Amino acid sequence: MTEAAMDVQTQNKWDRASRTYDFFATVDDRRLGSEKQKLLTKACGKTLHVAAGTGNDFKFFPAGMDIVSIDISPKMLEQARMKAAAYQGSIELREADVHNLNYPDETFDTVTTVFTFCSVPKPILGLRELYRVLKPGGQILMLEHVRSTAIGPVGIMMDLMTQLTRQFGPELNRDTVSNVQKAGFRLRRVENVYLDIVKVIEALKG
Amino acid sequence: MLLQIGDYLAGAMIGVVTALIVRIIIWSGMDMVIAMLVGGGIGMIVSLLISFMLSPLLGIVETMVPGSLTGMYGGMLFAMRDSMAAGSRTMTAALVVGAIFGIAVTVVMKFYNHALRGTVMEAGE
């Protein structure tokens, strides 16, 4: 895909965020690192990791895997390069837009995402694209933050805050569990990690 | 442990700053509905800014959720009280109420987290 065809607005947003991303993400790794590790340990076979960011999540993958890690932001990928080189296995970094992946149908055994689908502009379209590139029976492993439904005032607050946060970062009120199902996946497991906001979502193709 | 203490301090700080700005901006006799909306807006912005400032120390998610609740709903309540002159008489008292509100919201969120954590759906393969 050419750069012009990508979502330039999203690309610019994450290029800007790349400058301070690690500074802000370090403590979240301390809080949620064990959950990331537990989830990403389940990855197997040829794996597509969506939204490489600065490569913070690479250390949570088991050693020896064959991973393609994509991101829409070239600046993020620049920073991810060193962490990819330090991984004990194969990580190929690619600039790509999840809405339109340059891979044939049924390429990957596993797809992984960590706090990604709060920021994908068209989440169902992106998830359908991931469905397309997964092999039949392949799995998608997600750690995502979503809108709270269990605590009414929190849900309302997230709807209002999203009007601010979407200007420079993620949307806080996505219903990613439903979106996964709308894209065609069959849910295998959903786990609340923090309140009912941060969730592990595991689903299968077919 | 330090992160847990930090969560309560962050809640208190957001409550205090929201109460301070609301006390400065909202005057006694101001239309209560307008005061409530202004207070909620102030609280949202305050909580977002402080959450981002503290996120390198405390992480973003667990600071922002209770912090935003404190900011938005606390801002509304503080503004309603101030517009009716029904609240704290002195600035110090208003700030103490802000801190207590922030800590209370953080406590409630930790209880909710304890109740909600865990597997909510598991399908047989």
Interchain contact B124–A (C-beta under 8 A): no
pLDDT in tens, A105-157: 999 999 999 999 998 989 999 999 999 999 999 999 999 999 999 889 889 98
pLDDT in tens, B6-60: 999 999 999 999 999 999 999 999 999 999 999 999 999 999 899 889 988 988 8
Q: What is the CATH number of the domain that holds A31?
A: 3.40.50.150
pLDDT value for B124: 61
pLDDT value for A136: 97
**Which residue of B44, B56, B119 is in closest CB contact with A189?**
B119
The total domain count for chain A is 1
In this structure, how many other beta carbons lie within 10 angstroms of the beta carbon of residue A38? 14
Contact at 8 Å (CB) between A107 and A45? no
How open is the CA angle B46-B49-B51, to the nearest 5 degrees? Answer: 100
Nearest CA among A15, A6, A23, A40 for reference residue A114: A40
A179: containing domain: 3-204
Contact list in B for residue A189 (CB cut-off 8 A) is: 119, 121-123
User: Please, where are the H alpha helices in chain A?
Assistant: 8-17, 21-40, 74-86, 123-133, 152-165, 176-182
Interchain pair B3, A30: CB under 8 A = yes
Interchain pair A27, B61: CB under 8 A = no
Interchain pair A157, B109: CB under 8 A = no
- The whole-number mean pLDDT for each consecutive block of 10 residues of chain A, a chain of 206 residues, reads 63 86 82 94 97 94 96 94 95 95 96 94 95 97 94 90 82 94 96 95 94
Nearest CA among A36, A82, A72, A29 for reference residue A51: A72
The complex scores an ipTM of: 0.84
Q: What pTM did the predictor assign?
A: 0.88
Interchain pair B61, A197: CB under 8 A = yes
